[in-house]
A = this chain, B = another copy of it.
């Protein structure tokens, strides 16, 4: 199934050969992988030093750079796109310096052994799409309640309240109970009536004021009027935004990696 592909792969090259491939990849804006024994200095917002070890260096078309160790899914060193690269061999050491101007910082990688160097012309126009289910939207509200409104504090979700389940409920910034009904698609009159039923059920038991908020990416025709009649509110929330919040929840954990290093 493989087709011929414009790429260069050298196994256990001499430092001078590796230098040539790195320089060519950087000048042609190709993706580049270098596997070898290296040490790394970083100077910028802080200062770091990585002692020698065998690692994977990746440089991308856009001038971003990553140094990956054999464990951990975070790169140990990296720079975002837009780096300027300086490559040279000095004695038997291959030096790859990635420099950013703003903020001024640089990652300097020194290889004394190169096991593999590959320059790759990658064709990639594939779209990345992120979806969220209604349950994902509940979770996103729990993780970042401010997407509903500032000061909202969730108490529970998917809680049984006859005649069904309340999606999310909590209290607002003044302590008033809030019941949230979430729809992945356009909010309908039926959704508004459903929310009103939950609120009536809660009011009957708790005998306190309850706000009802219908959450959806958009609202159907004449639903606004129904909401007003029922004394309910609408909050526009995009499921895609919710998916991003959940993704970031994961990324946040990712960043905690640095607290452990």
Contacts and interface: CB of A to CB of B under 8 A. Distances in A.
B258 A251 contact: yes
Nearest to A120: B35
Copies in the complex: 2
Interface stretch (A8-16, A151-159, A210-218): A8-16
Interface stretch (A59-67, A174-182, A189-197): A59-67
A55 B124 contact: yes
A235 to B, nearest CB: 19
Contact of A116 (B75, B118, B124, B255): B118
Contacts of A76: 128
A72 interface: yes
B46 A247 contact: yes
A80 B2 contact: no
A150 interface: no
A126 to B, nearest CB: 3
A54 interface: yes
Contacts of A49: 128-129, 131
A7 B253 contact: no
Interface in A1-58: 1-3, 5, 7, 9, 11-15, 31, 33, 35, 39, 45-56, 58
Contacts of A139: 45
A11 B12 contact: no
A92 interface: yes
Contact of A31 (B50, B52, B70): B70
A222 interface: no
Interface residues of A, number: 84
Contact of A73 (B7, B13, B79, B126): B79
Contacts of A53: 122-126
Contacts of A254: 80, 251, 255
Given A7-B115, A46-B243, A255-B248, A128 B261 contact: yes
A23 to B, nearest CB: 18
A112 interface: yes
A216 B95 CA distance: 36
A71 B80 contact: no
A54 B251 CA distance: 24
Can you list the 9 inter-chain pairs with the closest CB atoms, starting with the nearest?
Answer: A53-B124, A51-B126, A53-B126, A64-B73, A46-B243, A2-B12, A70-B122, A54-B122, A251-B255
